[in-house]
Every structure is written in structure tokens, then in C-alpha cells.
């Protein structure tokens, strides 16, 4: 297991106030570059976080993060300082995390975000107000946890891919991508039978936009 710890600055302890807002934040998306990393690659992981407070010009700062490589999973714990006084218009942060010389095969990326108020005192106490977790699966979608509620079968496929979705909502087109991340075909979000009979044999990614972020899985067409 490899662990990397990063601090982006010193937190200033202030009392936190909100003008009628709840201290909440939600991870809306995770991306990885390159799309299909191999051992030895330098990779970027991009996380998008929406806050229910702040403004587009004044959003909580990321004050530190920790990356843990725990084969075959990469876990990223991110911390945002919410000390101070905030308006309740809402804002968004897009942060990039770098891993040089990847040492493992990656099947899953787990992004954990935390909003904290660091009260610098003799007790050195950190208060965690809110947290969220989003998982990006890079294995076949039908291999991920049941609570992700997406199932693709058969895999491998040669004519039709069947899509089963429950508990979550599809909010965008379904995209079939090649290993370079280029779009091969799109399907309507309502589609539950995806025709692949005229697509060349090989490995592909199926990208599905849901109300809990993007789900990406490997599929085989033969």
C-alpha cells in the first residue's frame, strides 16, 4: 500500500456562520486521465464538488488531501476549510490530483470529501461538518456493488447489451467509447437494449451519467 499526504496551507480557525444555509457538499463527478491507465503511467484524477453555500467567486478552499493506493483501489480523502462566514448561493470546486508512476492496476477510485472547521487552540481540535463519497468503477459495470444499481449483460456481447437500472436516475446520453476515450456511439438515456452488432470486436468503455455522478465500465464486444 502506498500513501501520499498533501497539505495546501495552514488553516485559520474561525467561527463558522451561514446565512440560512446548511453546511453540505456533494461530489458530482470523477474523471481519470488517461482513460485506461496502465502501471507506470502518470495519471490525473479530477473531482467535481458542489457546495450548498458560498458563491462562484468565493468557494471553500481545499486545504489538504491524502492519496492511498490499496491495490486495486485508489482512495482519495479531500478536506475543505469552511471556517468563516458564507453566503448561501452555492458554488462548485473542480480539483485535480496527480499520481506519478502508477504502481498498480486500477479497478476503482473512491473519492471522499470532508468539510471541516479547524479550531486552532490548545486542544488542536478539528470539527468535521459534512462528508460525501463517490466511486468511479473501471471494471465491468455488472461487476460493481449492488447498491450502484446498474447491471449490464451479457458481457462479452455480440448483438445486444441489456441495461438494468434501479434506485438511481440516468440524466444524460449513454456513450460507448474506445480505449482512447473517443466516442463510438451514443444511446438515448431511456435506452435499455443497446445494439452493438455492427461495432468492431474489441474492448470498450460504457459511460453512463447518473444523478450520483458518472459510471464507467469496461465491456467486450465479440
- Number of domains the chain is built from: 2
In degrees and rounded to multiples of 5, residue 146 shows phi and psi of -60, -35
Range of the domain at 102: 2-135
CB atoms < 10 A from the CB of 57, how many? 7
Which of 81, 106, 135 is at the close of a domain? Answer: 135
**pLDDT tens by residue, 120-158:** 444 443 444 567 787 777 654 444 444 456 778 888 888
pLDDT category at 114 given cuts 50, 70, 90 is confident
Instruction: Mark whether 96 and 166 lie in a shared domain.
Output: no
**pLDDT tens by residue, 169-192:** 787 889 998 876 788 999 998 889
Q: How far is CA 46 from the centre of its chain?
A: 8
Amino acid at each position: 500500500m502506498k500513501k501520499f499526504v498533501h497539505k495546501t496551507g495552514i488553516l485559520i480557525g474561525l467561527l463558522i456562520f451561514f446565512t440560512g444555509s446548511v453546511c453540505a457538499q456533494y461530489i458530482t463527478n470523477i474523471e481519470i486521465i488517461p482513460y485506461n491507465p496502465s502501471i507506470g503511467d502518470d495519471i490525473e484524477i479530477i473531482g467535481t464538488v458542489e457546495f450548498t453555500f458560498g458563491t462562484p467567486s468565493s468557494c471553500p478552499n481545499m486545504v489538504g488531501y491524502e492519496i492511498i493506493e490499496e491495490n486495486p483501489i485508489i482512495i482519495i480523502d479531500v478536506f475543505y476549510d469552511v471556517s468563516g462566514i458564507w453566503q448561501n448561493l452555492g458554488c462548485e470546486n473542480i480539483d485535480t490530483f496527480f499520481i506519478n508512476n502508477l504502481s498498480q492496476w486500477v479497478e476503482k477510485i473512491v473519492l471522499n470529501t470532508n468539510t471541516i472547521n479547524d479550531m486552532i487552540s490548545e486542544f488542536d481540535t478539528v470539527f468535521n461538518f459534512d462528508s460525501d463519497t463517490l466511486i468511479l468503477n473501471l471494471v465491468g459495470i455488472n461487476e460493481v456493488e449492488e447498491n450502484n444499481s446498474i447491471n449490464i449483460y451479457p458481457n462479452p456481447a455480440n448483438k445486444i447489451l441489456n441495461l438494468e437500472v434501479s434506485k438511481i436516475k440516468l440524466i444524460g446520453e449513454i456513450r460507448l467509447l474506445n480505449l482512447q476515450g473517443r466516442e463510438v456511439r451514443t444511446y438515448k438515456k431511456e435506452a435499455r437494449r443497446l445494439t452493438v452488432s455492427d461495432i468492431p470486436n474489441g474492448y470498450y468503455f460504457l459511460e453512463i451519467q447518473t444523478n450520483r455522478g458518472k459510471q464507467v465500465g469496461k465491456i467486450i464486444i465479440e
